Amino acid sequence: MAESNFVDYVKICCRSGKGGRGSMHMRRAKYVPNGGPDGGDGGRGGHVYLRGNRNYWTLLHLRYDRHVFAGHGGNGSKCRSTGKDGEDRYIDVPCGTVVYNADTGEYICDVTDDGQVVMLLKGGRGGLGNWNFRTSTNQAPRYAQPGEPMRELTVIMELKLLADVGLVGFPNAGKSTLLSAVSSARPKIANYPFTTLEPSLGIVSYRDGQSFVMADIPGIIEGASEGKGLGLRFLRHIERNSLLLFMVPGDTDDIKKEYEVLLNEVSTFNPEMMDKQRVLAITKSDLLDEELMQMLAENLPDVPCVFISAVTGKGISELKDLLWTALNSESNKLQAITDQTRIVHKNKDLNFLRSELKAMGEDEEIEFIDDEDIEDLDDFEYEEDWDEE
């Protein structure tokens, strides 16, 4: 089976540039017997930045570029010439990318907006030349500073899809069918569990040219928050959703019980997701008659509910109206702002992080590659340049 192009989890190594060393040059010019020091400063090392890019929807481009190295700063030279600054490196990531320290599990940053730039690693400062150390009692200093060393960091990048509505349900609950009915997305649909193996996004058209984004994740089962099935891997994709649409088939023995099981898995994975607005859709209602739907409605959870059928189109317009009203309510807008600033700012447990890395095939160690031009800072030799100008 071919590997999917949807990559939402990568481990990469980053390294900023080292600062250039300062020059220890002494001015030696004709008719200037006491030229004094004129060694310039070294250039700073390059920084490593993260940059949000809406043209990316996956982290696939980083899977095959695991090492990101910024340029080193140039050395200072005579005539107080400052060395060249090292080249900065920008890592373009899709909006919704969260970055963690791979060694400690510590949360680093969150990139949510297009064009947002976050400094991941700062380049080393360049060393001062001997011109900076001249004093009245030391008019010819024969020493200069080395540049600051480079910094290295191994990070985990985790993509959490940005969508307005997230679909939550057991396998074969009709999530993919609904997404294909209300949008142009064409997820795989079949009559066996876990047909959906990766999240799908669809733009749902509404009245007057308005629209909202709906996200379909693989079906979750009881115990998904503990690692069973595929739910643990994809539950994070609904953390950013403004509204959760729970989907339970109409031919289920106990609709309320299945809803409570799904709700428990979501709350166990992240208790803060309980603050999100919720809507319940009873799918496959074309199998039910009006009398049976009235009987079922008496024992439904205390959330907005609607009976739908993605095959016949029954209740789809009503569902869109319900979702649009909930998305544009004032309480939902305030909650959306809170989600961006609070819900993802958590450190990861190291054991949990290792299990995720193993599940994603990212558990192999990535070693830093030494450049040929890297020198040990302790081995710098400063030579005087006595060339006449």
Distance CA 125, CA 291 (A): 76
Domain residue extents for the chain: 1-160+347-389, 165-343
Fold match between domain 1-160+347-389 and domain 165-343 = no
Domain 1-160+347-389 belongs to what topology?
Answer: Spo0b-associated Gtp-binding Protein; Chain: A, (2.70.210)
pLDDT of residue 372: 46
pLDDT of residue 357: 63
pLDDT of residue 43: 93
Q: Give 353 or 280, the one with higher predicted confidence.
A: 280
Q: Which of the four pLDDT bands, split at 50, 70 and 90, describes residue 91?
A: very high
Question: Of the spans 6-15, 31-40, 147-156, which averages the highest pLDDT?
Answer: 147-156
Mean pLDDT for the stretch of residues 350-371: 59
Distance CA 389, CA 384 (A): 14
pTM: 0.72
Query: Which token pair is 373?
Result: 């031009």
pLDDT of residue 381: 37
pLDDT of residue 119: 94
Residue 312 in this model has a pLDDT that exceeds 60: yes
Neighbours of 48 (CB within 10 A): 25
pLDDT digits (tens, 9 = 90+) for 177-220: 888 888 877 776 766 556 666 677 788 888 888 888 888 877 67
Q: Give 235 or 301, the one with higher predicted confidence.
A: 301
Mean pLDDT for the stretch of residues 64-93: 91
Contact call for residues 18 and 72 (beta carbons, < 8 A): yes
Q: What is the DSSP string of 104-171?
A: T--EEEEE-STT-EEEEEPPPPPPPPGGGG--SS-SS----PPPPPP-EEEEEEEE----SEEEEE-T
Distance CA 336, CA 342 (A): 10
pLDDT digits (tens, 9 = 90+) for 250-284: 888 888 888 888 888 888 877 777 888 888 888 88
pLDDT of residue 379: 37
Distance CA 129, CA 389 (A): 19
Question: Of the spans 196-205, 224-233, 342-351, 376-385, which averages the highest pLDDT?
Answer: 196-205
Neighbours of 93 (CB within 10 A): 24
What is the chain's mean pLDDT, rounded? 79
Q: Give 378 or 178, the one with higher predicted confidence.
A: 178
Distance CA 220, CA 377 (A): 53
Mean pLDDT for the stretch of residues 84-112: 90
Q: Which of the four pLDDT bands, split at 50, 70 and 90, describes residue 227?
A: low
Domain 165-343 belongs to what topology?
Answer: Rossmann fold (3.40.50)
Q: Which of the four pLDDT bands, split at 50, 70 and 90, describes residue 125?
A: very high
Mean pLDDT for the stretch of residues 19-26: 91
Contact call for residues 280 and 300 (beta carbons, < 8 A): yes
Q: Give 78 or 232, the one with higher predicted confidence.
A: 78
**In the chain, pLDDT over 90 holds for what percent of residues?**
20
Residue 82 in this model has a pLDDT that exceeds 80: yes
Distance CA 79, CA 71 (A): 24
